[in-house]
Structure 1
Amino acid sequence: MARRENPEINAGSMADIAFLLLIFFLVTTTMDVDSGISMKLPEKPPANYDPPKIKEKNIFEISINRNNDLFVDGDVMELKDLKEAAKKFIDNGGGVGNPMPGEEKGKECDYCTGDRNPESSDHPNKAIISIESDRASDYEVYVSIQNELRRAYAELRNGLAMKKYNMSFAEIESAYKKSGNKDKNLEAKVKEIKNSYPQIITDLDPTESE
């Protein structure tokens, strides 16, 4: 009786198949990328530039110590309370603002819903938020503070846009982008809301704790 040989499996192409699968997974797999915080750096002023004098009441001072404690205008504050405190400061409307585009001189804020406290900010376009952090503080805390401040501006802009156009600012901005940034009517609305509540956030040089 003849002896039957076991059939052999041709493994010559296995390496090619594994290589193709590797390429497939490399091409189709998405990777998370931390985009960070979008910041636009200011342009360098000319040599003879004379900076404007800023009233102390128009500055919302935020500081973070090495223990990640949050201070606002020298007083301790919880992160959860920062957004509302920032909105109250920005929207105070206690005086005359800088001239808006097309205006010769500044006017009082006729759209602000704040307390009109003369000891707080004069106008949203004069309200400056200043952040000072310690070099030993956590970056995550700094990012959380930035997020709360951006939420404050977003809510103020959305509220004004709803009053004027029955649409949130986010909806107007999204529609403008969908138009390929070509719709002049939407462009004018976006600029008007942004000029009404300009996002003015400055970062001071980090302090060095001892």
Structure 2
Amino acid sequence: MARRDNSEINAGSMADIAFLLLIFFLVTTTMDVDSGISRKLPEKNQNPEETKVVIKEKNVLDIVVNRNNQILVEGTDYVQVKDIKKIAMDFIDNGGGLGNSVDGQPAKECDYCQGAKNPLSSDHPSKAIISLQSARGTTYGMYVSIQNEIEAAYNELRSQLSEKLYGVSYDQLLKDYNDNGGEKLKARIDNLKDKYPQIISEPEPIK
């Protein structure tokens, strides 16, 4: 009886199939991309002997987030994330004193502030500092949510002043400038940023 040879499997196209499957999964798979917070770092102090600025305690709004994601304002009041924007706006726009002296000119009161002018709160938007400190156990999502509320407070104040001065919102000014550019729009945006400068301090996390 004749011996039959074992048939061989043609594996020549297996590599091609595996390659096509790899391409398919690469194209169809979505990858999560972590997003960060855009912040401009302070410039290096060129003059180490420069006199340090004395900051009044009332010009600093302390916000602390503990490891349980609880938010404590001024060391006494526990608040929710949704409350941060209003608290920050009231603090920044208080206008309870004089601003910074510019080009040797005497310091002036804030003539555009709509706040309560509480003498125990911030003197001027140019002096108002928001200190946001977190614990090492604070979740990233909570930290970003608070940052968003603080930024929304600044944008809302700028928008209110923009409506009063230019008849359009701050967001619309930014959109028009991004679409069309122009020195006039840039000057208006810079003016609003100067009126309400975004000053945020981020101390080392609590252990």
TM-score tier, shorter chain, comes to 0.7 to 0.9
In structure 2, relative to structure 1, the CA distance for the partners of 1:25 and 1:200 (3 Å cut) is same
Q: What is residue 200 of structure 1 aligned with on the other side?
A: 199
Root-mean-square deviation (CA, aligned residues, Å) is 2.4
- How do residues 62-73 of structure 1 correspond to structure 2 at under 5 angstroms? 62-73=63-74
Q: Quick one: distance in 1 between partners of 2:168 and 2:32?
A: 32
Q: Which moved more, 1:134-143 or 1:164-173?
A: 134-143
How many residue pairs match? The answer is 195
How far does the alpha carbon of each residue in 1:170-201 deviate from its partner, in whole angstroms, 9 at most, with x for none? 1111111222xx41100100100000110001
- Percent same amino acid at aligned positions? 54
Pairing 1:96–2:98 present: yes
How far does the alpha carbon of each residue in 1:63-116 deviate from its partner, in whole angstroms, 9 at most, with x for none? 11222211110122222211101100000001111145x772321111110001
Q: Quick one: distance in 2 between partners of 1:202 and 1:70?
A: 16
Where does structure 1 lack aligned partners over 5 or more consecutive residues?
Answer: 1-11
The alignment's TM-score, normalised by the length of structure 1, stands at: 0.82
Q: What is residue 37 of structure 1 aligned with on the other side?
A: 37
- How do residues 25-64 of structure 1 correspond to structure 2 at under 5 angstroms? 31-45=31-45, 46-64=47-65
Q: What is residue 130 of structure 2 aligned with on the other side?
A: 129
In structure 2, relative to structure 1, the CA distance for the partners of 1:170 and 1:66 (3 Å cut) is same
The alignment's TM-score, normalised by the length of structure 2, stands at: 0.83
Shift, 1:141, TM fit:
1.4
Equivalent in 81, 84, 88 of residue 83 of structure 2: 81
How far does the alpha carbon of each residue in 1:125-144 deviate from its partner, in whole angstroms, 9 at most, with x for none? 10000011111222221111
Q: What is residue 106 of structure 2 aligned with on the other side?
A: 105
In structure 2, relative to structure 1, the CA distance for the partners of 1:168 and 1:18 (3 Å cut) is farther
Q: Quick one: distance in 2 between partners of 1:199 and 1:91?
A: 12
Q: Quick one: distance in 1 between partners of 2:115 and 2:75?
A: 22
Pairing 1:139–2:140 present: yes
Q: Quick one: distance in 2 between partners of 1:143 and 1:183?
A: 32
Q: Quick one: distance in 2 between partners of 1:67 and 1:176?
A: 42
List structure 1 runs of 4+ shifted beyond 6 angstroms. 12-18, 27-30
In structure 2, relative to structure 1, the CA distance for the partners of 1:164 and 1:13 (3 Å cut) is farther
Q: What is residue 148 of structure 1 aligned with on the other side?
A: 149
Q: What is residue 8 of structure 2 aligned with on the other side?
A: none
Q: Quick one: distance in 1 between partners of 2:132 and 2:50?
A: 24
